[in-house]
């Protein structure tokens, strides 16, 4: 086969032509033969063969089976009921399941009569089941028509309107296989193929489009998913190795006076084992002569700031400056004040730079940075301005990284001759699966325990009908001298509605909590920054007991005395948002509470979210549930993830394949970092082709 065959523009394929090519390009992004070849079916209809229950494979395909229903029962579940029928043939049994239309189905099903059932197979443990199957008595079925196992391709309204139906796409695919004689170059090494018992590339591509049977389809899907994830991991890992080899880091060889003085005399509490482990990982990086690029994950309140400070003191011990960048002024102020308090009288010169820093202060600050008199700079995006030049920046710490774009991060690199070490911190736990794909080029550290003396926050779900009891509870807490947050949701589309909700809420709270006995602060998006800060200040100082707000308080405000978080219309919030908001309380030694208020009508997904919040405080567990509910694209924000471009793999469902792919990519690069060995040439060839065609996206710089 001509090596450039797959680069042929799609209009040249017989049966396509310029008009159809236009629609294929705009609707499905298909420009070349290769793009068409990689348009994989969503699912398959198999009406040719009849499976025995003991032959079923978990390939997610639709199959048909002949058997009898021997038993029907109704099963209560957390939400509603399901109807379950036991379906048997001579080789075994499985379940047929219905979640609706129970009465009609019960009345119409005949026990012990031969049926043909058709539907998608799912496996739970060792049992197979089929939900809402198509059913037909065998006697009726035998009179009908038969069609082959048929791939169903992704489609859009515009494609259908232009006459590019599933059948037409199938015809184009047949033409492509005719012209290529079904031969495609292998892209994996013999070793990997043999070790994982994978089918060849040509066989996998043929059987994904024209599956001969279920078993070959399952093998082909595995082969292509593995390959896709393998090349993504290959790119991320080689990027990481290359960086460690090529980008020389600033050597931090000393653990000196600053670090030791702080450790011995200024630590407010003993470090947790998790914090010690993370500091050790970071120290190893800093002393390794390679530039550090580490992601530090830790739940709200796990003590990331102390770790960040100790790293900055290490930089100072080695004669370097450090900076800490936060996404908002409130958070930057808070970091600055927190660090000042921790450092006490240690003589560390530190300054704060935000949008509101006055011009005269700025000039002074710029000079001190350039002549090396300033040790630590805390700030917002303002730190990135070209005017801000350091004498010798050794460590840059970025808080809440998902709020900073890649371009902004790279600006920090150019603040020094040699790029500074980078530590990225986040309180948004990223599930392992996603971290391996998104941040596969960063080293990852996790602080997975809370400091001693912190009590886990108690979370409950209450309906609006219990509001009076909730208000009584708030009054009791305020009597004990505590403070309360009440948060209202923000729906971007209708600011007017949000504002009305917030104001209605504020009015009813003012009625139930009258002045002068109670003081209430209010903060929302329409206020001027200065007014917001004033209200925030009053709450922080304890002049007001209740803070009514939209989600502006999500990131970082630290009020140790606030012990109750009420989240109104909690069903409108995403899981990670709920978890972040809950993390605003529980900062002091007292027991804290989070109350999720909702109406009585809730969707299934909202119920799952609320249940998860009530059951666990573990951010990673919550992130895993969130990932399953929302999918990877939503979780990271589509632009950031690049993950939506995966053609066949799904990093949530194919988690195991992802781990296998990462393992094999690591092994390969250990043994043959440049892919020079004869047996790895197919991988090298495929990899360089992909890099030329930008097929593996530069996920995250």
- Are 566 and 597 in contact by the 8 Å Cβ rule? The answer is yes
pTM here is: 0.65
Non-local (6+) Cβ contacts of 87 within 8 A are 53, 65, 67, 68, 69, 70, 93, 94, 95, 96, 115, 117, 130
Q: State how far the Cα of 268 lies from the Cα of 342, in Å rounded to an integer.
A: 8
Model pLDDT, residue 643: 43
DSSP code, position 551: G
CA 35 distance to own-chain centroid: 27
Of 581, 616, 651, which marks where a domain is finished?
616
Among the listed residues 226, 206, 208, 209, the one whose alpha carbon sits nearest the alpha carbon of residue 218: 208
- Structure tokens, 526: 């329409």
- Give the structural domain span for 97: 49-152
- Alpha-carbon span 567 to 551, nearest angstrom: 10
DSSP 375: -
CATH number of the domain within which 68 lies: 2.40.50.140
Of residues 442, 484, 456, the one with CA closest to residue 299: 456
Q: Distance between CA atoms of 52 and 65, rounded to whole angstroms? A: 6
In this structure, the answer to whether residues 480 and 555 fall within a common structural domain is yes
- Would 501 be classed as within a structural domain? yes
Looking at 616, 635, 655, the residue that finishes a domain is 616
CA distance 167 to 525: 52
Query: How far apart are alpha carbons 190 and 186 in whole angstroms?
Result: 9
Q: Are 239 and 248 in contact (CB under 8 A)?
A: no
How large is the greatest C-alpha to C-alpha distance in the chain, in angstroms?
A: 91
pLDDT at 363: 92
Query: For residue 365, which phi and psi values (nearest 5 degrees)?
Result: -60, -45
Distance CA 279, CA 311 (A): 8
HEC letters along 327-367: CCHHHHHHHHHHHHHHHCCCCCCEEEECCCCCHHHHHHHHH
Measured CA to CA, the distance from residue 576 to residue 593 in angstroms comes to 18
The 10 Å Cβ neighbour count of residue 408 is: 14
Cβ-contact 342, 415 below 8 angstroms: no
Phi, psi of 414 (to 5 degrees): -90, 15
End-to-end Cα, the chain, rounded Å: 36
Distance between CA 323 and CA 177 in Å, rounded?
A: 57
Measured CA to CA, the distance from residue 521 to residue 527 in angstroms comes to 12
pLDDT reported for residue 501: 77
- CA dist 146 → 18, 60, 210, 442 (Å): 35, 21, 17, 53
At residue 668, the pLDDT reads 95
Q: Is 139 in the same domain as 76?
A: yes
E strands in 584-670: 593-598
Asked whether residue 264 is assigned to any structural domain, the reply reads: yes
Note whether 422 and 468 are same-domain residues. no
Res 212: pLDDT: 81
Give the integer Cα–Cα distance in Å for 629 and 641.
17
Alpha-carbon torsion (21, 25, 30, 33), positive or negative: positive
Q: 489 and 570 share a domain?
A: yes
Helices 166-180 and 201-209, axial angle in degrees (round to 10): 150
Radius of gyration of the chain (CA): 30
**C-alpha triplet 367, 370, 375: angle, nearest 5°:** 100
pLDDT given at position 638: 35
Q: Are 326 and 378 in contact (CB under 8 A)?
A: yes
In a domain, residue 35? The reply is no
Looking at the structure, tell me whether residues 511 and 404 fall in a common domain.
Answer: no
Strand (E) or helix (H) holding 689: helix 681-692
| Residue at which a domain ends, from 378, 403, 426 | 426
Residue 584 lies in a domain: yes
582 vs 595: CA distance, rounded Å: 9
Same domain, 500 and 606: yes
Beta bridge pairs of residue 43: 152
Residue 158 lies in a domain: no
* Same domain flag for 489 and 365: no
Token digits of residue 190: 């013999």
Q: Domain count of the chain?
A: 3
Whether residue 340 has a cis bond before it, omega within 30° of 0: no
Contact of 220 with 203, CB cutoff 8 Å: yes
Instruction: Please report how many Cα atoms fall inside a 13 Å half-sphere around the Cα of residue 289, on the Cβ side.
Output: 2
Phi, psi for residue 268 in degrees, rounded to 5: -70, -25
Give the list of residues 6+ apart from residue 353 with CB closer than 8 angstroms, or none.
362, 365, 377, 378, 379, 380, 382, 383, 388
What is the reported pLDDT for 685?
92
Q: What are phi and psi of 462, to 5 degrees?
A: -130, 145
Length of the chain: 701
Domain of 317, CATH number, reads 3.40.50.300
Please say whether the dihedral angle defined by the alpha carbons of residues 33, 36, 40 and 41, taken in this order, is positive or negative. negative
Establish if 22 belongs to a structural domain.
Answer: no
Q: Residue 298's Cα: distance from chain center in Å?
A: 15
In a domain, 325, yes or no: yes
Extract the tokens encoding 543.
């002049």
Read off the tokens for 663: 């393992």
573 in the same domain as 463: yes
Which one-letter DSSP state was computed for residue 553? G
Q: Which residue has the tokens 């296989």?
A: 177
Check whether residue 70 and residue 147 sit in a common domain: yes
Which pLDDT does position 290 carry in this prediction?
Answer: 84
Pair (58, 133) in one structural domain: yes
Reduced 3-state DSSP string for 573-590: CCHHHHHHHHCCCCCCCC
- The list of the chain residues with pLDDT below 70 reads 1, 144-148, 401-410, 413, 432-433, 436-440, 491-499, 551-557, 631-645, 693-701
- Same domain? 462 vs 422: no
Residue 212 within any structural domain of the chain: no
Which pLDDT score is estimated for 699? 36
Helices (H), 77-165: 102-108, 138-141, 157-161
What confidence tens digit (pLDDT) does each residue in 378-418 have? 998 888 888 889 999 999 999 875 555 555 666 776 777 77
**Is residue 482 located within the same domain as residue 418?**
no
């Amino acid at each position: 086969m001509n090596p450039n065959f797959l680069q042929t523009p799609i209009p040249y394929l017989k049966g396509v032509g310029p008009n159809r090519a236009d629609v294929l390009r705009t609707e499905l992004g298909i420009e070349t033969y290769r793009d068409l070849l990689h348009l994989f079916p969503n699912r398959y209809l198999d009406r040719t063969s009849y499976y025995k229950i003991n032959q079923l494979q978990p390939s997610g395909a639709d199959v048909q089976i002949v058997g009898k229903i021997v038993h029907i029962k109704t099963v209560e579940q957390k939400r509603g009921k399901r109807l379950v029928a036991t379906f048997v043939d001579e080789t075994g049994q499985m379940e047929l399941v219905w979640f609706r239309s129970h009465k009609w189905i019960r009345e119409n099903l005949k026990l012990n009569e031969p049926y043909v059932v058709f539907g998608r197979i799912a496996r739970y443990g060792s049992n197979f089941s089929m939900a809402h199957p198509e059913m037909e008595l065998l006697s009726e079925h035998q009179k009908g028509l038969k069609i082959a196992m048929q791939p169903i391709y992704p489609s859009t309204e515009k494609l259908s309107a232009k006459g590019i139906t599933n059948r037409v796409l199938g015809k184009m695919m047949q033409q492509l296989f005719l012209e290529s004689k079904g031969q495609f170059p292998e892209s994996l090494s013999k070793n990997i193929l043999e070790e994982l018992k994978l089918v060849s590339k040509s066989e996998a591509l043929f059987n994904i489009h024209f599956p001969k049977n279920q078993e070959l389809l399952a093998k082909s899907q595995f082969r292509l998913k593995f390959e896709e994830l393998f090349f993504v991991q290959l790119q991320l890992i080689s990027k990481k190795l290359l960086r460690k080899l090529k980008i020389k880091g600033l050597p931090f060889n000393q653990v000196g006076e600053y670090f030791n003085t702080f450790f011995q005399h200024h630590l407010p509490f003993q470090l947790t084992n998790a914090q010690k482990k993370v500091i050790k990982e970071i120290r190893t990086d800093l002393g390794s002569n390679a530039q550090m690029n580490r992601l530090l994950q830790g739940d709200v309140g796990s003590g990331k700031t102390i770790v960040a400070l100790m790293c900055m003191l290490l930089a100072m011990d080695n004669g370097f400056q450090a900076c800490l960048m936060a996404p908002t002024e409130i958070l930057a102020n808070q970091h600055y004040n927190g660090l000042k308090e921790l450092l006490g009288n240690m003589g560390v010169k530190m300054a704060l730079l935000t949008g509101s820093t006055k011009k005269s202060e700025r000039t002074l600050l710029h000079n001190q940075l350039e002549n090396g008199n300033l040790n630590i700079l805390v700030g917002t995006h303002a730190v990135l301005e070209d005017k801000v030049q350091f004498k010798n920046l050794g460590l840059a710490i970025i808080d809440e990284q998902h709020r900073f774009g890649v371009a902004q991060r790279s600006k920090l690199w150019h603040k020094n001759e040699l790029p500074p070490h980078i530590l990225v911190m986040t309180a948004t736990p990223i599930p392992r699966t996603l971290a391996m794909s998104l941040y596969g080029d960063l080293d990852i550290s996790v602080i997975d325990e809370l400091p001693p003396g912190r009590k886990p926050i108690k979370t409950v779900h209450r309906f609006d009908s219990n509001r009076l009891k909730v208000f009584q509870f708030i009054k009791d807490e305020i009597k004990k001298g505590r403070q309360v947050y009440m948060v209202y949701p923000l729906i971007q589309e209708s600011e007017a509605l949000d504002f009305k909700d917030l104001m209605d809420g504020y009015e009813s709270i003012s009625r139930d909590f009258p002045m002068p006995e109670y003081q209430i602060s209010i903060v929302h998006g329409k206020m001027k920054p200065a007014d917001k800060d004033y209200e925030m200040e009053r709450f922080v100082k304890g002049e007001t007991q209740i803070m009514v707000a939209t989600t502006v308080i999500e990131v970082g405000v630290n009020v140790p005395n606030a012990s109750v978080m009420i989240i109104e219309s909690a069903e409108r919030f995403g899981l990670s948002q709920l978890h972040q908001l809950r993390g605003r309380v529980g900062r002091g030694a007292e027991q804290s509470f989070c109350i999720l208020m909702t109406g009585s009508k809730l969707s299934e997904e909202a119920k799952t979210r609320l249940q998860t919040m009530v059951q666990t405080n573990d951010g990673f567990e919550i992130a895993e549930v969130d990932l399953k509910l929302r999918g990877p694209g939503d979780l990271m924000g589509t632009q950031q993830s690049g993950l939506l471009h995966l053609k066949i793999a799904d990093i949530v469902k194919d988690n195991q394949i992802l781990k296998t792919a990462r393992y094999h990519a690591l092994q390969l690069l250990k043994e043959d970092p440049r892919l020079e060995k004869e047996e790895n040439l197919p991988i090298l060839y495929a990899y360089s082709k992909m890099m030329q065609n930008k097929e593996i996206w530069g996920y995250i710089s």
